[in-house]
Structure 1
Amino acid sequence: MKTHKNIRLVTIITLLVIQVVFLTMIAKEKYEVGSFAILISVIIITVAIFFGYRYLDLHHEEYGYERIGVAIWVPIGAVLCYSLNIYGGLGSVLSAGITGTVASFIPVLNKDSIYIKKLPGAIYCGAFVGMSSAEITPSIGFVIAAGSLTGVLFMVSKNLFLGIGGKLGTLAFAGVAMVSLLYWLFI
């Protein structure tokens, strides 16, 4: 039970830190370097996000994880969308739309399968990774790495942020941001 609680806490803190860093970079870009307004803005945003995570009913109390067999479809959706976007020249929005639409018809293949009914969400989460611009995701290897990390986040966040719009996009953003940081640090 303690392990599950720690996994949940690490997931929430990771997403919180990524959001705060991203919003800080936006504020820093807008204001002059060393501006006091940046510090105040970051503090207000951080406090608001913290209280949102802490006091809003965003999570179920039980600990549940998505099966790895479902999460493995996140990088598959990412590669499919990226391929349509970059190699097919369709653009990111159309590529994500095609990927999501095709994924939505997968449950028709076997209406009784609980497993197959879970695949469209995972594939669509991957589509958000794959629709990143070519400047952010320079290679298919990057997309596979970001999709895999997003798949792990998808797996551990099954009972987090329920009923909140933007969960799949937030997970995809977190995966791409973390892999971008790793590429920047080590490659």
Structure 2
Amino acid sequence: MVGMVLGIIAVVAALVPNAGPAMAMLLGLAALVLGIVGLVKNHGWRAIASMTLGVVALVLSVVMTVAVYGPLKDAAASAANSILASANAGQPAPSADAETQRALKNQLRVWFGNFTPGTESDWSSVPVTVTNISQQRESYSISISAVNANGTEVEADSIYIPNLEAGQSTAKTAFKYIDTDKMDAMKSATYTITRVSVIS
């Protein structure tokens, strides 16, 4: 009976973000163990129910962590970075600090494609290709400025690249949300990396 109760709590906990899946794994494991003990002591359907709930909680916690909460966390981080970057647009373009310069030299390479203006049915875009040239898997947060010929920042954006393996490349899209009055300036802008945060 205790195993059944723990199993039910574990299944519910697996659906709760942040600490929920970790708690679900512990409770699910406890429910599974108690179910096995109950089965050995011939407690019948309650033992089987406890084992089943424990297994369901364990599987559900892993699935939710990998398939749901991880991508949601990455998307939230990317959106927050983009909002912060855009808030600084219109200022003189900031210079890359020493940490960023080291990262661009030793840990990653970044290439920019051409700006494609937005339409009524699609967003604007600048293709960005990032290659991990380090010897280990890394995650990157990269702040980018679109700069006009006078050195003034036209627009700013940020991209987040999670878990890029050593030697691997990935493609991202920057500058999706551009105001109509900035479209012409974006067509002739150049792109500069103002900040790289490396998250091992």
- Band the TM-score falls in, shorter-chain normalisation: under 0.3
* TM-score, length basis structure 2: 0.23
Larger Rg: 2
- Highest RCO, 1 vs 2 (Cα 8 Å, sep ≥ 6): 1
* TM-score, length basis structure 1: 0.25
